């Protein structure tokens, strides 16, 4: 039975590259405020599952729903604002904090609001 507090649900997730199956019928759900652990030996595809849950890669089969709605029916940006994934190894680039923050504006093709970015960069550096 569907839990009324349910937020994120993965159903029958399957992932394979060429003929190599790495996830076979994985299902789980997580509710708001709930804390779940995914454990297993290195290489058993934990990160692959998290990338699928955060829509960074698409499953070969299966469905993901967020608050009862298929994520394929949501704009990816909206979904990614709500469900995200923290990489094991931080990826930074360029020479400054500003370079990292400015990337969002570049991707969104928005004007580079340098004054605001400099303030933000100072706040988090
Ligand atoms: N079907 C597949 N075929 C080949 N390589 C895969 C496949 N699925 C995942 N991988 C790769 O296997 C590696 C280990 O998976 P990963 O999800 O990072 O494991 P874990 O987080 O449990 O250590 C990653 O480099 C990933 O890109
Ligand atoms: Mg990992």
Looking at residue 46, which CATH number applies to its domain?
Answer: 3.40.50.300
pTM for the predicted model, two decimal places: 0.77
Q: How many CB atoms lie within 10 A of CB 52?
A: 23
The residues, ordered by sequence, that sit 6+ positions from 37 with a Cβ below 8 Å of its Cβ are none
Share the mean pLDDT of the chain: 85
Could you read off the pLDDT of 25-53 as tens digits, one per residue?
A: 999 999 988 999 999 999 999 999 999 99
Q: Which domain holds residue 48?
A: 6-120
Residue 15 CA, closest ligand 1 atom number: 1
Q: Is the CB of 57 under 6 A from ligand 1?
A: no
Tally of domains in the chain: 1
- Closest ligand 1 atom to residue 40 Cα is 22
Q: Scanning the structure block, which residue is given the tokens 């994985």?
A: 26
pLDDT confidence of 109, banded at 50, 70, 90?
Answer: confident
* Domain-embedded: residue 125: no
Is 65 within 8 Å of 11 (Cβ atoms)?
A: yes
Give the per-residue pLDDT at 124: 56
In a domain, 113, yes or no: yes
Q: What is the DSSP string of 40-105?
A: --TTSSHHHHHHHHTTSS--SEEEEEETTEEGGGS-HHHHHHHS----SS----SSSHHHHHHHHH
Atom of ligand 1 nearest to the CA of 44: 22
Distance linking the first and last C-alpha atoms of the chain: 47
pLDDT: is 91 or 115 the higher one?
91
pLDDT number for residue 13: 98
Packed helices 114-124 and 97-107: angle between N→C axes, nearest 10 degrees:
130
Query: Does the pLDDT at position 119 exceed 60?
Result: no
Establish if 97 belongs to a structural domain: yes
Which DSSP category does 27 fall into? E
Among 23, 24, 47, 58, residue to substitute to test ligand 1 (most atoms within 8 Å of Cβ): 47
- 50-54, 58-62, 71-75, 109-113: least confident range: 109-113
| Distance, CA of 69 to CA of 79 (rounded, Å) | 11
Kindly report, residue by residue over 77-97, the tens digit of the pLDDT: 889 888 988 787 777 888 887
Question: Which ligand is closest to the CA of 89, given by its number?
Answer: 2
Q: Evaluate whether residue 33 is within a structural domain.
A: yes
| Average pLDDT estimate for 57-65 | 96
Residue 1 within a domain: no
Question: For the segment 62-78, what is each residue's pLDDT rounded down to a tens digit?
Answer: 999 999 999 999 998 88
């Amino acid at each position: 039975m569907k839990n009324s507090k349910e937020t994120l649900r993965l159903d029958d997730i399957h992932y394979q590259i060429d003929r190599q199956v790495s996830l076979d019928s994985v299902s789980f759900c997580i509710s708001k405020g709930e804390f779940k652990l995914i454990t297993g030996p290195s290489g058993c595809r934990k990160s692959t599952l998290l990338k699928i849950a955060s829509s960074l890669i698409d499953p070969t089969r299966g469905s993901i729903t967020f608050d009862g709605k298929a994520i394929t029916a949501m704009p990816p940006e909206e979904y990614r604002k709500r469900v995200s994934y923290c990489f094991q190894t931080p990826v930074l680039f360029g020479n400054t904090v500003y370079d990292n923050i400015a990337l969002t504006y570049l991707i969104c093709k928005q004007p580079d609001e340098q004054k605001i970015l400099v303030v933000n960069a100072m706040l988090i550096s």
